[in-house]
Amino acid sequence: MAIITSRTDENGRISIAYDRCNSCGLCVKVCKDFSLIMDDHLPVVGTQPLFGCMACGQCMAVCPTGAITVSGREMSPADKIDLTDMKDKPSYGQLKNLMVGRRSIRDFKDKEIDEELIDKIIEAAVSAPMGLPPSDVHLVVIKGKGKVREFSFDVLNYFDKIRYLFSPPMIGLWRLTGKESYKLIKSFAQPLLKFFAESKNKQENYLLYDAPLAMYFTSSPYSDPADPYIPATYAMLAAESLGLGSCMIGSIHPMIRYGAKDLKKKWNLPLKAPSGIVVIFGFPKYKYTSGIRRTFAEVAFIPN
C-alpha cells in the first residue's frame, strides 16, 4: 500500500530506459525501499518493496546516464534539475560566516521586497528535506507591509478573544498539562498576551514587527511535525544570502492551532495543521557588528 499524505495516495512509477542504462547499479544502491533491485546485472522494478516507491527521486538523480525517470506522487521526469551550471558550492567558511553573521531581525527599513527575491527565497526553501515526499508543507506568503500588518492585527484580535484561557482563574488548569508547560504559560505566555493586548491598543505591532513580508509554513496531520521548520530555516538562510534579514515567529501557531477557523479561512491557512512557523523578512534597519557565541544545552559525545 502506498504511503498516504494529504497530496497523494499512489505509489511512484519508475521507468528504466535500458538503451541508456550502463548497469552501474547506483539506482539500486540508493533506493532504500527496495523498489529497485538488480537482476542479472540490470536494475529492475522489484515486486517486494518496503512501502512502494515514494517518489523521492533519488534513483533518477543519481543515474549518470539519465536512464531513470520517476512519475506519480506529484513527481514527473521534468522535475530533474540539471546541476551542470550549479557546481559552485559555498565553502564551509562561507556558509558558517552566513550562519554566524545572521541575527533575528525585528527592525526593518520601510522598503518592500521585490517579487524576484521572494521567488528566490521560495525556490531555496522548497529544496529542504521532508519526512515523506511529496512535501506536505503548506506555505502562505503574505506580501507587503500593509498585508502583514492586517494579518498581525487579525491574529492579535484572536489572541484577545482567547486571553481568558490564560487568566488567573484558568491558569491553574494548565498544571494538568505538566509542570513545565504550566511554568512556561505563567512566565511567558501570560505576560506576552498581556503585552500584545496593550501594544495592540496603541496600534503597535510587536507580533510581526511591521515586516514587509511574512511566510507561514504549516504541516499536515499526515506529515512529520518537524517538516515546516526545515524549509523555514532554509528560507532564512536564503534571505540572508540575498541581503535580507529575517526572524522566526513561533508565538502564533500554538495559539491558533485548535481554533481560529475564520482567521484561517481568511488567510488561506489549513484548518488542521499540527505544527507551523511564521518567518518575517525585510531589509535590516540596523547593522550588527558582532556575532554571538552560542551553546547547546548539552553536547554528549558517545565514544566509539
Ligand X SMILES: Cc1cc2nc3c(=O)[nH]c(=O)nc-3n(C[C@H](O)[C@H](O)[C@H](O)COP(=O)(O)O)c2cc1C
Where does this chain bind ligand X (CB under 6 A)?
A: 103-104, 106, 247-251, 277
* Shortest Å distance, C-beta 281 to ligand X: 13
* Shortest Å distance, C-beta 255 to ligand X: 10
Give 66 or 250: the residue with its C-beta nearer to ligand X: 250
* Shortest Å distance, C-beta 207 to ligand X: 8
* Shortest Å distance, C-beta 106 to ligand X: 6
Q: Which residue, judged by CB position, is nearest to ligand X in the bound state?
A: 250
Give 135 or 251: the residue with its C-beta nearer to ligand X: 251
Give 133 or 245: the residue with its C-beta nearer to ligand X: 245
C-alpha cell, 263: 482567521
Give 1 or 292: the residue with its C-beta nearer to ligand X: 292
* Shortest Å distance, C-beta 18 to ligand X: 48
Give 73 or 106: the residue with its C-beta nearer to ligand X: 106
